[in-house]
Copies of this chain bind each other. A is one copy, B any other.
């Protein structure tokens, strides 16, 4: 397992292809780097290594759990608990689920596709997984296409590139064109895993494509938007200071992908299944991170209530109960999804669909409601508090 320092070092050698604030940047000092580093640090922390590491089912070696393919209900529960814990420390998204969620989905679908079509995707993917685990890789998932008119199918769009597609098959690989939107933390990933975004009809073969390329691969451009939580002056700095997040619109400008990194190419029925299965794994990850977000809001709410001297008021306690309720309903269903999970033919453990979906739905419905609660308990303070320079002004 790599260290945080090694991770940071590995970013330096990558080709600058980050388009942000009108410049083309390399990967040093991007917002969110601290967060990704934390995922390396936690794997070395004795107290929680039972959560943050796993034994590779390929090699038997101890690996970072963010590189692991789930083999049992216990693996799913450990993943969920690790996620809640890490997200709490960060006070937000832990940034490293997307890639491994996509890898888990690929493990299942490549195997099934091979059974039906006699393809060799699973073996290729296993080789690629070895590379991941050996190098403690960070991946991102490029799924969401730009889409255009939502009522038209990919092949019905005026511009066929609104969904990423194969424009040429060559002897040694394929050429892809298009763009994927909203790719969280993509500029901080070594690898980009691209998969389809929706069900595909038989005539949509070119859009049924899944593959992996390095983040700085020729032809790949990451148009980014970054946010750093407002820095405070040192006197009143908090653990969150300097943290941040970053997303990318990832452009594939006629990118060549060698066959050994192609995991689906034309088998349309598996395109949709892959999209769904990634979502399923991601929803299960969500049962870990969403409760952590509620935990943070809850903590802030409780702190503000104390500051206002109203921590024992019945309406405040009622609000806190609401927050606990949202968090634990979601977390509980994540556990249930693990208990009721099933084993795919390739050996990967798949969480229960229904419990993942209701958890995701419940979390989504309540997100704004939670900010509402925080706002109500806090009063006008957060909206109008002067920034920290004024607090330390000599006057």
- Chain A contact residues, CB within 8 Å of chain B: 19-22, 144, 147-152, 181-182, 221, 223-225, 247, 249, 308-310, 313-315, 318, 321, 324-325, 328-329, 331-333, 335-337, 339-340, 354-355, 358-359, 361-362, 367-369, 371-372, 375, 380-381, 383-387, 389-390, 393, 395
Which residues from chain B contact A337 at a C-beta distance below 8 Å?
A: 332
Q: Which of A309, A358, A389, A395 has the most CB of B within 10 A?
A: A358
Q: Are A181's CB and B335's CB within 8 A?
A: no
Give the residues in chain B near A372, CB-CB below 8 Å.
367-368
Select A152's contact among B309, B315, B335, B387, beta carbons within 8 Å: B309
- Across the interface, A386 reaches (CB within 8 A) one of B223, B318, B369, namely B223
Bound-state Cα–Cα, A314 to B317, Å: 12
Inter-chain contact B358/A389, CB cutoff 8 Å: no
**Which residue of A20, A332, A387 has the most chain B CB atoms within 10 A of its CB atom?**
A332
- A369→B375 CA distance, assembly (Å): 13
A393 and B325 contact, CB distance less than 8 A: no
Specify which chain B residues have a CB less than 8 angstroms from the CB of A367 in the assembled complex: 372
Question: In the complex, what residues of B have CB within 8 A of residue A309's CB?
Answer: 148-152
Looking at the complex, which one of B150, B225, B381 makes contact with A310 (CB distance below 8 Å)? B150
Distance between Cα atoms of A328 and B356 in the complex (Å): 10
Judge whether A384 and B225 touch: CB under 8 Å: yes
Please indicate the chain B residues that have their CB under 8 angstroms from the CB of A332 in the complex. Answer: 329, 332-333, 335-337, 355, 358-359
Q: Is the CB of B22 within 8 A of A151?
A: no
Bound Cα distance A19, B381 (Å): 18
**Which B residues lie within 8 Å of A384 (CB)?**
181-182, 225, 247, 249
With CB as the reference atom, state the residue of chain B lying closest to A337. B332
**CB-CB < 8 A to A223: which residues of B?**
386, 390
What is the chain B residue whose CB lies nearest that of A376?
B364
User: Which B residue's beta carbon lies closest to that of A371?
Assistant: B368
A211 to B329 CA separation, bound complex (whole angstroms): 35
Q: Give 18 A-B pairs besides A147-B308, A151-B313, A325-B362 with Cβ atoms closer than 8 angstroms.
A: A22-B390, A22-B393, A149-B309, A151-B310, A181-B381, A225-B385, A225-B390, A247-B383, A313-B314, A315-B315, A325-B358, A325-B361, A329-B333, A331-B336, A332-B358, A335-B340, A367-B372, A368-B375
A315 to B, closest residue via Cβ: B314
Q: Are B335 and A387 in contact (CB under 8 A)?
A: no
User: Which residues of B are found within 8 Å of A359, using beta-carbon distances?
Assistant: 329, 332
A314 to B318, CA, bound (A): 11
Taking a contact as CB atoms under 8 Å apart, the answer to whether A339 and B329 are in contact is: no
Most buried by B among A329, A337, A393: A329
Shortest Cβ gap from A288 to chain B (Å):
13
Smallest CB separation, A226 vs chain B (Å): 9
Q: CA of A155 to CA of B383 in the docked complex: distance in angstroms? A: 27
Q: Which residues of B contact A314 (CB under 8 A)?
A: 313-315
Q: How far is the CB of A274 from chain B (nearest CB, A)?
A: 20
Name A335's closest neighbour in chain B (CB-CB): B336
Which of A249, A354, A359, A384 has the most B CB atoms < 10 Å from its CB?
Answer: A384
Residue pair A358, B225 in contact (C-beta under 8 Å) = no
Q: Which 5 A-B pairs have the closest CB atoms?
A: A332-B336, A149-B309, A332-B333, A335-B336, A368-B368
Please, which residues of chain B bring their CB within 8 A of the CB of A385?
225
User: Are A362 and B182 also in contact (CB < 8 A) when A340-B335, A384-B225 are?
Assistant: no
Residue of A247, A249, A368, A387 ringed by the most chain B CB atoms within 10 A: A368
